[in-house]
Structure 1
Amino acid sequence: MTTATDAPAAATATGYAPGRTLPLRVEALRQLKRRRTLVMGLILAALPFVLIVAFAIGGSPDGAENGRITLMDTATASAANFVATCLFVSAGFLLVIPVALFCGDTVASEAGWSSLRYLLAAPVPRARLLWSKLAVALGFSAAAMLLLPLAALAAGTVAYGWGPLKLPTGGALPAGESLLRIGIAVAFVFVSQLVTAGLAFWLSTRTDAPLGAVGGAVGLTIIGNVLDAVTALGDWRSFLPAHWQFSWIDALQPQLEWTGMAKGAAVSVTYALILFALAFRGFARKDIVS
C-alpha cells in the first residue's frame, strides 16, 4: 500500500493554509475531554490530602531517633515544607506517569482509533500534526507538574500554617523566598522529565498501542533509575538522566546551588531533542494507512 501524503493538491485550494490547520486549542480541548486527563488530575490533587491523613494517623515525622534530619522529617513544619515533601515523594515515579501518559498516548491512540488517516486527509501536514500534539502534551505535562505543588500549598497552608521553609541542614528560608526556591525546583523537575516525554512521544509514533508507548517510557525510566543505583558504573552514571533527578533539592539549601541542576537539565534536554527528532523523522516516513 502506498504511503499517505499531505495531499499537495489541497495546498492550492482557496483559503487553505497549512500552518493554520489543527489549531492548538482544538487539540487541547480534545485531550482535555479525555477521561485519563481527569483521572490523572484527581490523583495528583489528592496526593497532598493522602499525606496529611497519613501524618495525622501516624504522627509528625521525627528524625531524632537516628539523629539525622531529612526533608520528610520537616514535612509538617509549614506549608512550604509540606510542598517540598510532596515533590520529594512524587518526583521519582508519580510525576513520571502523567508525562508518559500525555506524551505516549497522544499519537498512538489516534493510530489505534484509525483517526490519523482522516486528520491527514483534511489535510493536516504531518509536521503540523506532530507539533500540535507535542505542544499540547508538554503543556498538559507542565500543568500536572504545577497541579501537585499548588494543591499541596493550599492543603498545607490549611493544615500546617504559613511560615518559613525549615531546612534539614539547619536554618530556614523566609516564606516569600521559599516560594521562589520551590518554583525553581518544580521547573527543574519538569525539565528533568523531558527525557521521559521524548521517550513516550517517540514510542507513540512507532506503535498504535498507547499502553505500549506509555508503559515503554515508564519502564525505560525505571531501568535508568536501577542503573543509576549501580555504583560500579562510576562516572558513567552522570550520563543517565536519573542520576540528576533529585538535583532540585539544591534549590532548598541556604545558598542556591545551580551546578547539579544545570548538568541534569543539559543531559535531559539533549536526550529529549534527539528523541523528538527521531519521532518527527520516523513519522514523516510512516505509512499511516497500513
Structure 2
Amino acid sequence: MSSTSTTRGVHDLLRSAPPPPTAAADGSAAGWSAGRTLPLRVELVRQWRRRRTQLVLAGLALFPLVLAALFARNREGVVTGGTRFVDLATGGAVNFALFVVFASSTLLIVVVVALFCGDTVASEAGWSSLKYLLASPVSRSRLLRQKLVVSFGLALTGLVILPVSALISGGIFFGFGPARTPLGSVIPTGEALFRLSIVIGYLAVSMLFVASLAFFLGVHTDAPLGAVGGAVMLVIISTILDQVEDLGPVREILPTHYIGAWVDAFNDPVVWQDMGRGAVLSVAYAAVLLALAWRKFLRKDVLS
C-alpha cells in the first residue's frame, strides 16, 4: 500500500474515483456514500457491548446505593448539623446527592470521563482494527466525529447516572425533605432539585476539558491506559498547582481552577460568576485540544 493511502486514508482516493454505477433493479452495485458509513447507532452498540462500558455504568449506579446503606447503618455515628457536605449527607435525598457529587467530582468523575473518551480511538489502534475501519471506507473526520459523539454521550450518561442514583438512594434511606446548605439555609425540595440540575449541567461543561484532553491523547497512542492515565495525571497536576497560592493570577487560567464552582449553585441567591468563567475556560481548552486532535489524526499514518 502506498504512503498516500496509509497516511491520508484509502477513503480519500475514492473521492477522485469515477462515479459508481447506478444500482441495478435487484439492488446490486449500489453506490458508495461517505455519509452512510459507520452510523452513530452502530458505534453506540459497539461501545455499549464492551464489558468496560457496562461495568462502569453499573458501578456508578450501585456506588451511591452502597454508600447510602453504609451511612444508614452507622447513622448514629454520623455528625449532623455541621457545615460540611458529609455532615449534611443524611439530611435528605438532595443533601446525599450533593455529598456524592462533592466526594466524586475531583477524581471518580474525572477517571470515568477520561476512560470513555481516552479509550475510544486508542483501543481501536491497539486492536489493529483502526486501519480496517478506515479502509471500509470511513472518512477520517467522520470516524473521529462518530467516536467523539458516542464517547461524550457515554461520559455524560455516567455523569447523570451518579447523582440520579444518589438522589434515589438518599430518598430511600433518608427521605425527600428540603435541602440544607453548609451556610445554614434551607431550600425547598423542588427548588433544590432544580439547583441540583444546575450542578449536573455545570459539571458536564467543566468535564469537557477532561474529555477533550483524554481524546487528544487517545489519537496519539495505541495504548488506552496511556491516554486515560495521562489525562488523569495532568488533571491531578493542574489541581495541585491550583493549591499553590504563590502562583497568583496564573491559577485562574488552570483548567481545574473552577472545577468546584458548582457549590455556588446552592448559595442564596445562586452565584453565576465563577461557574460562567469555568464554563468559558473549559470550552476554550476543549476547542483547542479537539482541533489539535483532528489535525493529528488527519495526518496520521495508521500503519505506524
- Of 50, 55, 72 in structure 1, the residue corresponding to residue 71 of structure 2 is 55
Q: CA deviation at 1:73?
A: 1.2
Does the 8 Å contact 1:202/1:278 carry over to 2?
yes
Counterpart in 1 of 2:3?
A: 2
Does the 8 Å contact 2:219/2:293 carry over to 1?
yes
Does the 8 Å contact 1:173/1:254 carry over to 2?
no
Per-residue deviation, residues 165-186 of structure 1 (Å, max 9, x unmatched): 1112122111111111000101
- Of 152, 156, 159 in structure 2, the residue corresponding to residue 138 of structure 1 is 152
Per-residue deviation, residues 200-254 of structure 1 (Å, max 9, x unmatched): 1011100000010000001111111111111111111111121111100000112
SS at match of 2:176: coil
Establish whether residue 99 from structure 1 lines up as the match of residue 113 from structure 2.
yes
**TM-score (normalised: structure 2):** 0.91
Q: How far apart in 2 are the matches of 1:71 and 1:253? A: 14
Q: How far apart in 2 are the matches of 1:179 and 1:6? A: 51
Amino acid across the alignment from 1:186: I
* Aligned residues between the structures: 287
SS at match of 2:270: coil
Establish whether residue 229 from structure 1 lines up as the match of residue 243 from structure 2.
yes
Does the 8 Å contact 1:61/1:74 carry over to 2?
no
Establish whether residue 187 from structure 1 lines up as the match of residue 201 from structure 2.
yes
1:239–1:8 CA distance, 2 compared to 1 (3 A) = closer
Does the 8 Å contact 1:6/1:126 carry over to 2?
no
Counterpart in 1 of 2:172?
A: 158
Which structure 1 residue ranges, 5 or more long, are not aligned? none
Amino acid across the alignment from 1:62: V
Amino acid across the alignment from 1:195: F
Q: How far apart in 2 are the matches of 1:8 and 1:215? A: 33
- Of 254, 259, 264 in structure 2, the residue corresponding to residue 245 of structure 1 is 259
Amino acid across the alignment from 2:139: P
Q: How far apart in 2 are the matches of 1:239 and 1:51? A: 35
Which structure 2 residue ranges, 5 or more long, are not aligned? 21-29
Counterpart in 2 of 1:69?
A: 83
Establish whether residue 216 from structure 1 lines up as the match of residue 217 from structure 2.
no
Q: How far apart in 1 are the matches of 2:12 and 2:227? A: 31
RMSD: 1.5
Counterpart in 2 of 1:206?
A: 220
Establish whether residue 46 from structure 1 lines up as the match of residue 62 from structure 2.
yes
Counterpart in 2 of 1:128?
A: 142
Q: CA deviation at 1:56?
A: 3.0
Q: How far apart in 2 are the matches of 1:8 and 1:230? A: 49
Establish whether residue 32 from structure 1 lines up as the match of residue 68 from structure 2.
no
Amino acid across the alignment from 1:38: Q
Q: CA deviation at 1:63?
A: 6.2
Does the 8 Å contact 1:105/1:213 carry over to 2?
yes
Q: How far apart in 2 are the matches of 1:6 and 1:138? A: 27
Does the 8 Å contact 2:83/2:184 carry over to 1?
no
SS at match of 1:73: coil
Amino acid across the alignment from 2:221: T
Does the 8 Å contact 2:94/2:167 carry over to 1?
yes
Amino acid across the alignment from 1:28: L
Does the 8 Å contact 1:224/1:242 carry over to 2?
yes
Amino acid across the alignment from 2:56: M
Identity of counterpart residues, as a percentage?
47
Counterpart in 1 of 2:300?
A: 286
Q: How far apart in 2 are the matches of 1:71 and 1:208? A: 40
Amino acid across the alignment from 2:269: Q
Counterpart in 1 of 2:25?
A: none
Does the 8 Å contact 1:10/1:16 carry over to 2?
no
SS at match of 1:72: coil
Does the 8 Å contact 1:164/1:175 carry over to 2?
yes
Per-residue deviation, residues 262-288 of structure 1 (Å, max 9, x unmatched): 001111111111000000000000001
SS at match of 2:301: coil
